[in-house]
Structure 1
Amino acid sequence: MRRLFTVFLLFIPTSIALAQTFGGYSTSPDAGIYGILTNPATAASTHFKWDVNIAGASAALGNTYAGFAKSALRTDSLKLGTDYFPDTTSNLYQFAWAQADILMPSVMYSIDETQSLAFTWRVRGAANWGPFSPRLLNFATVHFPNSQYIGQTLDMGHVAGTFNTWNEFGFTYARVLMESTFSRIKGGVTLKYLSGIASGYAIVSNTTLRLNSPTSMTIDGGHLVYGYTENLARESHPDEHYYNLGRYPGVGADIGFTWEWRPDSEGGDGADYGGNDYFNDDADAYRLRIGVSVTDIGGINYNNDLYNTSLNLDKPDIDPRLLNKSRGESYKHWSNRVKQYFTNDPVQRSSYYMQLPTALHLSADYQFGGGWALSGNAVFGLNTNAKTDFRNNMITIAQLTPRYEHGWWSAFLPMSVNRYQGVDVGMGLRLGPVILGSGSIFSDLASSHIKRADFFLAVRLPLGNSKQGKTREEKRAIRQVECAF
C-alpha cells in the first residue's frame, strides 16, 4: 500500500520552484526582464534601452509532512528514521508542491521612455499533491502495514496529484498610462502561446480503508483515476516526442499595473547607476512603488488517449502486501499487476484541460535612498478552491526583502512565510550580469531536517545607451508645465 501512495510522489518531477519565481529579486527596479514574470507593467519606462536574458533558472520543492536529513542528498535510497523523518504527531492535512521556471534567451526593448516590448521564452514545470490526512500517511509510510491501526477506519477523502511541464512564449507590451508631477501609473499585458511538453494526474476519491490484520485490509468504495500524456508511454526514443510545439496547445495571459510615488527628482535612485549616463535616467527615481497583477490565466489541452485508467477500489478483503512494489519489479509491471486486483470502470477520460497556476500578486517597494530599499510582496494562489482537479496551484506566500543596490552589484535578503506555516530566510546577490541566490538557504542551514529547498541563477545583459533622452530635471520641468495647464 505504501507504494500505492508513492505513485503521487512520482508525479512530482525531481528536477523541479516554490511559489515566488526568482523571489526577492523580481520586485527590484533593476529586475528588468525578470520583473515581467510577476508583473508585466514593470517593463514600461525602464532604466535600459535593451535587456537581453542569456539564461535563468529558478527551482524549488517542498512538503509539509517529511523532513529530510542533509545527508540524504548523498544516498540512493531513503531510509525511515535515518534519511527522512515524518511528522507523525501532526493533526493538519499534508501537502507537497514543486515548480520550475527556466527563462530561455529572451529580450526586452524600450521603444521610448514611456513604452516597451518584450519577448520571453520560458520552460516551466509545476506539480501539486494532497491533501492527505496525517493518520493515513502514518499508516502508509511508517512500518506498513502499521499494526497500530488494526481495527481502525481511515478516510482517504479526496486526494489529487497533478504535474504539468510546458513551453511558454510570451509577448509583452507595457506603457506609462498616466503621469503627474509626483506620480506615475503604468500598465502591461503579456499574451502567451503555450505548448505542453508532458502532463499527468492521479485522483482518489470517496475511499475508506480498514486494516483487519497485517494480512487483510478492507477498501470501501471509491475510485482511483490516473492518466498521462502519450509521449510518457514511449519506451524507445521518447525525447523526440517532447518538442512538438503544436501537439498540446494552449493560451494564457498576465496583466498588471503599478503606481509610483515620485516626490522629488533625485529621490529613490536605489541602484545608483551614476547620474544621467544611461537611457531614461529617472526610470527608478520613485520613493514608493505599488503593484498588482494576475498571472497565468489560461491552460493547456491534453489528449491522453489510451494512457489513462479508472478503477473501482471497492475490495472487501485484500492482502495489503500485494500492493507493494517488489524489489527489481519495473514500475510498468507493478502498475499492471496492481490494476488486476481491482475492477476497471467503463468510462475513460480521453482528454483534459490543465489549468495554469493562476495567481494574484501584490507588491510594494520603498527606496530609502543611498541604495537601501525594502520590498514586500504577497502571492495568492487562485486555483486552490477550484472545482476541477486538473490544475496546478501557486502556493500562497508573503515575503519581505531588504536590499542594497549600488552600480554593478546588489544584495538582498528575502524572508517569507507560506500558507502551510513554513518560514524561510534566504539571500541573493547580483554581480554584474549574474544573479544567484536562494529563498531558504539560511533557514535550511539552521535546520536539522529540511522540508523545503530552492535556488535561482540567471545571466542577463542590461544595455543602456549613454546620454540619451532628457535628464530628470528636464522631464520634471515638462511635467510641471503640463500640470499647470
Structure 2
Amino acid sequence: MKLKKYVIYALLIYTGAINAQSYVGYLTDNYNGVHGVLSNPANIADSRLKLEVNLAGASVFFSNDYIGFNLSDAFGNVDTLFDNAEKFPMENNAMALNTDILGPAVLLTINEKNALSVFMRGRLFFNALDINGETLDKEGGFDETQDFTINEGNLSAVSNLWAELGVSYARVLLNNEAHFLKAGLTLKYMQGSGNAYIYSEDP
C-alpha cells in the first residue's frame, strides 16, 4: 500500500498543463512590470512602472486526468487527501508540468517611449502520455516483499530543463488618439541543463 501512495505522490509532482505562456492572468496587466517581457518584449514599453527589480518569482501549472480533489482538501491532512480524492483510472492517463522560475530581473523605463529589461529565467517542461491508471488504482497496492508485474503498455514521457539570460528593448512607435503601436526585441542566451526521455512499447 505504501508503494502505491509513493507512486501517486511522485506522479502528482510531475503533473501539469503544458502552456505556451506562464503567469497566466498576470502577464497582460498594465502593472506586471518585468514579467510582461516573458510573453511579449513590447509589453515593457509604456509601462506604468519607472523601475522594477524582481528578486524571484515562480509559476507552476500541473494537471492530470487520473486523480482529482477539492482545493480546500489540499490544505488539510496529506494522508487523507488522496483517500478522499476521486480517481479516473484509464489505460492511457496523461499528466504534464510547466514550471517557470523568474530569477533576478530589472525593468527600466528610460522615458515615455523607451524601456529596457534584463532577466534570468529557469524553465522545466514535463509531459507523460499513456500511463496505465489501472496499475495505480490496483486495490491493496503492491506487496513490496513479493515479485509483481506492472503493465504500462505504450508509455512515453519527456522532460526538459533549461536556463535563459535575456536582454529586451521596447519602444513606442506610434501614439495618437486613434492608434497605438509599440515593438520590442529580446536577445537570449539559452543553456540546456537536462533532458530525460522514457518510452515503452507494448510487445
Alignment partner, residue 60 of structure 1: 61
Alignment partner, residue 87 of structure 2: 86
Aligned amino acid, residue 189 of structure 2: Y
CA contact (8 A) 1:11 1:200 kept: no
Distance 1:189 1:53, change over 3 A: same
Matched, 1:142 2:141: no
**How far does the alpha carbon of each residue in 1:434-485 deviate from its partner, in whole angstroms, 9 at most, with x for none?**
xxxxxxxxxxxxxxxxxxxxxxxxxxxxxxxxxxxxxxxxxxxxxxxxxxxx
Aligned amino acid, residue 190 of structure 2: L
CA contact (8 A) 2:31 2:49 kept: no
Structure showing greater Rg: 1
- What is the rounded CA distance, in whole Å, between the counterparts of 2:68 and 2:118 in structure 1? 40
Equivalent positions of 1:118-133 (< 5 A) are 118-132=117-131
Q: TM-score, normalised by structure 2?
A: 0.73
- What is the rounded CA distance, in whole Å, between the counterparts of 1:200 and 1:7 in structure 2? 18
Give the one of 68, 74, 82 matched to 2:77.
Answer: 74
Alignment partner, residue 146 of structure 2: none
Q: TM-score, normalised by structure 1?
A: 0.33
Give the count of matched residue pairs. 187
CA contact (8 A) 1:172 1:191 kept: yes
Alignment partner, residue 178 of structure 1: 174
* Structure 1 stretches of at least 4 aligned residues deviating more than 4 Å after TM superposition: 6-18, 76-79
Matched, 1:168 2:167: no
- What is the rounded CA distance, in whole Å, between the counterparts of 1:14 and 1:53 in structure 2? 27
**How far does the alpha carbon of each residue in 1:266-324 deviate from its partner, in whole angstroms, 9 at most, with x for none?**
xxxxxxxxxxxxxxxxxxxxxxxxxxxxxxxxxxxxxxxxxxxxxxxxxxxxxxxxxxx
Alignment partner, residue 30 of structure 2: 29
Distance 1:83 1:199, change over 3 A: farther
Identity among equivalent positions (%) equals 29
- What is the rounded CA distance, in whole Å, between the counterparts of 1:94 and 1:16 in structure 2? 13
- What is the rounded CA distance, in whole Å, between the counterparts of 1:22 and 1:161 in structure 2? 24
- What is the rounded CA distance, in whole Å, between the counterparts of 2:38 and 2:61 in structure 1? 17
Aligned amino acid, residue 141 of structure 1: L
- What is the rounded CA distance, in whole Å, between the counterparts of 1:83 and 1:192 in structure 2? 46
Give the 3-state SS of the residue equivalent to 1:105 in structure 2. strand
**How far has the Cα of 1:72 moved from its partner?**
8.6
CA contact (8 A) 1:8 1:129 kept: no
Which structure is richer in relative contact order (CA contacts within 8 A, separation 6 or more)? 2
- What is the rounded CA distance, in whole Å, between the counterparts of 1:115 and 1:48 in structure 2? 12
**How far does the alpha carbon of each residue in 1:88-146 deviate from its partner, in whole angstroms, 9 at most, with x for none?**
4x79x5321112222222101123322211101122222111144xxx422x2222699
- What is the rounded CA distance, in whole Å, between the counterparts of 1:164 and 1:85 in structure 2? 30
CA contact (8 A) 2:166 2:187 kept: yes
Give the 3-state SS of the residue equivalent to 2:55 in structure 1. strand
CA contact (8 A) 1:11 1:163 kept: no
For structure 1, the residue ranges without an aligned partner over 5 or more in a row are 147-153, 208-219, 221-485
